[in-house]
Amino acid sequence: MGHKRERYADFVAHPRYGRGPRITGLNVEEGGDAFLHWHSPRSSRIPDTAVTADLTRQTRATVPVTHYFDVKRRCRDCDRPFLFFADEQKHWYEELGFGLESDCVRCAECRKRRQGIARLRERYEELHHVADRSPEEDLEMADCCLTLVEESVFSSKQLQRVRALLKRVPPGDAGGLLARVAALEGA
C-alpha cells in the first residue's frame, strides 16, 4: 500500500477525497450489464476502485453508467496530475445532477481558483451598477478589478479604471492597491 501511495505523491490532493486512490475492492469490466463512463478508458482507470452507480439518480442518457472508477487526469490549467475520484463522480452525476457528458478537466485547486475568480467578477459587475458607490465600495471595486487584471481576466488597460476608483478613496486607504498597480505597470 505504501508503494501505491508513493505513486500518487505528485498528484494534486482533493480536499475531500485525498491524493491517492480509494480502494473498494470492486473491479468490473465493460460488457453485459456493466457500462463504464466514456471518459474512463482502461488506461486511466485505477483497478479495484469501482463504485456502483444509482441509475435512478443520473440524468437521462442514451447509455447510463453503472459503475464509476477513480481515474487519472492531468489538469488543463496547471498541467499537474490529479484523480477524478469514483465517489466524486457519483456526487457530480447523482447528487448535483451533472449530465454524464460532463468531465472533470481541472484539479480541485484550479477549480476552486476559477470559482473564486468568477465570484470576484460577479461582485465587480454588481459594484459597477451601483449608482452612488461609497468609498468602501470604490475600494472593493478597485481591488476586484486589480485582481482580475492580475489573473488575466481583464487587460492591463483596466489599470486606468483602478487608478480612477482609487482617486475617490480617502488618502491612505489605497496604499497597498497603488503598489500593486505600480508593480503591474512596471511589468
> What is the per-residue DSSP string for 119-131?
HHHHHHHHHHT-S
DSSP state of 146: H
pLDDT of residue 179: 81
| Grid coordinates belonging to 134 | 461609497
pLDDT of residue 23: 94
How far is Cα 65 from Cα 53, in angstroms, rounded to an integer?
7
Instruction: Give the end-to-end CA distance of the chain in Å, rounded to a whole number.
Output: 48
Tell me the three state secondary structure of residue 6. Answer: helix
If DSSP states are collapsed to H, E and C, what string results for 70-93? CEEEECCCCCCEEEECHHHHHHHH
pLDDT of residue 5: 64
pLDDT of residue 39: 79
Block means of pLDDT (10 residues each) for the chain, 187 residues, are: 74 95 89 79 91 93 89 97 97 95 95 96 96 92 94 93 89 79 79
pLDDT of residue 184: 84
Q: Which segments of the chain does DSSP mark as H helices, in order?
A: 2-7, 86-90, 108-128, 135-150, 159-167, 175-186
How far is Cα 185 from Cα 187, in angstroms, rounded to an integer?
6
